[in-house]
Structure 1
Amino acid sequence: MIRVILGEDQRLLREALATLLSLEDDIEVVGQAENGEQALELIMKEEPDIAILDIEMPLKTGLDVAEAVHKLDLPCKILMLTTFARPGYFQRAMACGIRGYLLKDSSSDQLADTIRQIESGKRVISPELSLAVWDDPNPLSPREKEVLCLAAQGMTLQDISSSLFLSHGTVRNYMSEAISRVGANTRIEAITIARDKGWLE
């Protein structure tokens, strides 16, 4: 029996998934969480084989939970569900060792089959999601991303230069490059574009 937990903040969807998966002879839903903190607690308490997590949840995102599981070296495998094919999310998910990545409009048969494949040791990625990374990769360098993230938190260039121990001119150059790379005209526009693409995650 494959033991799974569900982490999804939309109650209707979470309960529908639980009902559909309970119809499978070899899958048992052993817990449900409405936010990321609950999901992580359930993973540690129930020790499921697989955790099915929505990326965007309150308190902790699905990615936060996946990173915690990876850092704590827990045996639970992570299957991520998402509505959007955002390249930044995908890259971050891959970096923390998730085993599956599906769009929410996948069929229940596809979900159940994915669970079985993950349990057997395979990695399963929706074709639409893997294509999104090739079609729209993150153009920002690590430092440009860092500068843009700090600006998104409301920090001025002077604040950022102090925080990163860089000169004001260097930070200004990174910001200028970031604005250019994402195809924006202003700092605010660059932050908006990068957030929408998942490049600041």
Structure 2
Amino acid sequence: MIRLLLADDQALVRGALAALLDLEADLTVVAQVGRGDEVVAAARESDADVALLDVEMPGLDGIAAAAALHEELPRCRALIVTTFGRPGYLRRALDAGASGFVVKDTPAEQLADAVRRVHQGLRVVDPELAVATLAVGDSPLTEREREVLGLAERGGTVAQIARAAFLSEGTVRNYLSAAIGKTGARTRAEAVHLARENGWL
């Protein structure tokens, strides 16, 4: 029996996934959480074999939760199951130690098969997303540029971003300018939008 942990901030989605997966004779849902920062503790407590993680959750996002699982409980494999099939998310998830990445509209039998394959130590990736990821390539943004763009996404002024990132205003302007150039955007807002669409943020 493969023991599953479900992590999704939408209770309805968690419930639907649990109901679908519990129909499989060899799968059982042993824990459910609504926050990314609860994943490791829940996986440890429930002795889960595979954690199905949404990307966008409070506390920690699914990619950060996958990294924490990989580091603290490598025996529990992470499978990202998300609405947001963005190329940058796929690459970041795999780099973080996730064993698989599928989108939520995957048919139930394919999702169950993905869980089994991940449990066996195989890597499972949505094929359309894999092609899109190859086409888009790696994120051109440095870690600091990502951080500054992420702060800019919340609508802060340069001074507010500088305070939050512990940087000078001039340095923030330089990072924003570099991010705008690298994304091919014309404005800060457009750079944020493009980075978000590609899963670089």
Whether TM-score is above 0.5 comes out as yes
Is 1:177 matched up with 2:175?
no
Q: What is the match of residue 123 of structure 1?
A: 123
Q: CA RMSD in A?
A: 2.5
Check 1:41–1:73 CA distance in 2 against 1; reply closer, same or farther (3 A cut).
closer
Q: In 2, Cα distance between the equivalents of 1:41 and 1:3?
A: 15
Q: What is the match of residue 162 of structure 2?
A: 159
Corresponding letter in the other structure for 2:114:
T
Q: Is the 8 A contact 1:85 1:128 kept in 2?
A: no
Q: What is the match of residue 45 of structure 2?
A: 45
String of CA shifts for 1:66-124, please: whole Å, max 9, x gaps: 12112324410001111122122112211111111101000110011111111111110
Q: Structure 1 residue 16: deviation in Å?
A: 1.8
Corresponding letter in the other structure for 2:192:
I
Q: In 2, Cα distance between the equivalents of 1:136 and 1:80?
A: 20
String of CA shifts for 1:110-144, please: whole Å, max 9, x gaps: 01111111111111000122122112232334454
Q: Structure 1 residue 8: deviation in Å?
A: 1.7
Q: Is the 8 A contact 1:6 1:31 kept in 2?
A: yes
**For structure 1, which segment, 78-87 or 175-184, has the greater mean C-alpha deviation from structure 2 after superposition?**
175-184
Q: What is the match of residue 59 of structure 2?
A: 59
Check 1:182–1:44 CA distance in 2 against 1; reply closer, same or farther (3 A cut).
same
The count of residues paired between Structure 1 and Structure 2 equals 197
Q: In 2, Cα distance between the equivalents of 1:173 and 1:9?
A: 36
Check 1:30–1:181 CA distance in 2 against 1; reply closer, same or farther (3 A cut).
same
Corresponding letter in the other structure for 2:190:
E
Q: Is the 8 A contact 1:117 1:123 kept in 2?
A: yes
User: Unpaired segments of 5 or more residues in structure 2?
Assistant: none
SS at match of 2:115: helix
Instruction: Tell which structure's C-alpha radius of gyration is larger.
Output: 1
Q: Structure 1 residue 163: deviation in Å?
A: 3.7
Q: Structure 1 residue 37: deviation in Å?
A: 3.0
Q: Structure 1 residue 164: deviation in Å?
A: 5.2
Q: Structure 1 residue 31: deviation in Å?
A: 1.3
**For structure 1, which segment, 105-114 or 17-26, has the greater mean C-alpha deviation from structure 2 after superposition?**
17-26
Q: Is the 8 A contact 2:55 2:84 kept in 1?
A: no
Q: What is the match of residue 25 of structure 1?
A: 25
Q: Structure 1 residue 146: deviation in Å?
A: 4.5
User: Unpaired segments of 5 or more residues in structure 1?
Assistant: none
TM-score (norm 2): 0.84
Q: Structure 1 residue 41: deviation in Å?
A: 2.4
Q: What is the match of residue 194 of structure 1?
A: 195
Corresponding letter in the other structure for 2:64:
D
Corresponding letter in the other structure for 2:17:
L
TM-score (norm 1): 0.84
Corresponding letter in the other structure for 1:156:
V
Corresponding letter in the other structure for 2:158:
T
Q: What is the match of residue 92 of structure 2?
A: 92
String of CA shifts for 1:25-55, please: whole Å, max 9, x gaps: 1111111122223333211211211011111
Q: Is the 8 A contact 1:86 1:197 kept in 2?
A: yes
Q: What is the match of residue 77 of structure 1?
A: 77
Check 1:12–1:69 CA distance in 2 against 1; reply closer, same or farther (3 A cut).
same
Q: Structure 1 residue 180: deviation in Å?
A: 2.1
- Give % identity: 45
Q: In 1, Cα distance between the equivalents of 2:14 and 2:179?
A: 38
